[in-house]
Chains A and B, each alone.
Chain A
């Protein structure tokens, strides 16, 4: 599935992924391919994206996550690049 992580300033991540693990407002949420359409508000926490070539991690604060047509979109005003997580 296609995953895009976008901040107001730029697209932080755009690519194919196997799984997304995000911190929603009420706890962690995992998205696997062919998830049903979903919109949720994100909390403060780590966003992990598993790709065939490894994993990416970001610190995200606020924003929201949308799943539609097997593509995941994460929009947040505060996204910090790879943490060591």
Chain B
């Protein structure tokens, strides 16, 4: 049985741990609030962009755009390279957040390789990069400079060269593994196919406004499609940051709660032992006195 002194030491150490996890929980909560605001603020742009593209794209136009064209699979002579962009966090202690994303990425890589692609990895965030390097994969690009506040420029710098490679016919598929921030508690990993662009379709047929297009629709689409791709990347970054903070908060909250339970249990044991010791000492005294009198 643990001595009283050892128990006291454990109580102190768990109390200190609880202080740390509580602090991390509070930090994550405040970062989460800001990240959530950014997710919400990014919605109008994405929505508007989708509507505009839906109005512009027609099936016959789709064939003429490098970014919309669907390359043949490698088995039929199409490009043999594919790219997977994996977003993870730079820091750990966020519950299953990073391992969920890594699992999803592994699943996608395996699937793409089964189709005959050579998969190139683009890693964002230390955790994902660390894992895939450990299992012996190399990265085409490693980015650990994108922290808690991703910007549209960050997103653009990631996808720019991928768009060029795709348009040149070197890449067959570009996929993005990110978290989907549905709510604070629901943030499953998901894969978005960034390229070829899945053009959004107009809600209702026939009522398409008769636009004056200036310049011609081809040039317009050429300008708008890259915006769409960059925006998909930006949303991925923003949502994943929000999801990271959300799962860190949840993880730290349960760590704090567990520490509290542990402290309660340890204190109870400690007090029971202390009382037992006192009782025993009194019993010894009384016994000793009785022996002397006898």
Contacts and interface: CB of A to CB of B under 8 A. Distances in A.
A24 B212 CA distance: 14
B214 A66 contact: no
Contacts of B155: 8
Given A8-B152, A9-B38, A69-B209, A40 B44 contact: no
Given A38-B212, A40-B214, A8 B45 contact: yes
B82 to A, nearest CB: 26
Interface in B229-268: 230-231, 234
A6 interface: yes
Interface residues of A, number: 25
Given A64-B223, A66-B52, A75-B48, A9 B152 contact: yes
A77 B152 contact: yes
A77 B41 contact: no
Interface string A65-76: 010110001010
Interface residues of B, number: 29
Q: Which of A39, A69, A73 neighbours the largest number of chain B CB atoms within 10 Å of its CB?
A: A39
Interface in A33-85: 36-41, 62-64, 66, 68-69, 73, 75, 77
A10 B151 CA distance: 11
A39 B214 contact: yes
Interface string A1-41: 00010111111000000000000111000000000111111
Given A8-B42, A41-B215, A75-B48, 8 more contacts: A6-B45, A8-B230, A8-B234, A39-B56, A40-B220, A41-B219, A77-B156, A77-B227
Interface of A: 4, 6-11, 24-26, 36-41, 62-64, 66, 68-69, 73, 75, 77
27 contacts: A4-B48, A6-B48, A8-B45, A9-B45, A9-B151, A10-B42, A11-B41, A11-B45, A26-B215, A36-B212, A37-B211, A39-B55, A39-B211, A39-B214, A40-B214, A40-B215, A40-B220, A41-B220, A63-B227, A64-B52, A64-B223, A66-B48, A66-B52, A68-B55, A68-B209, A75-B45, A75-B49
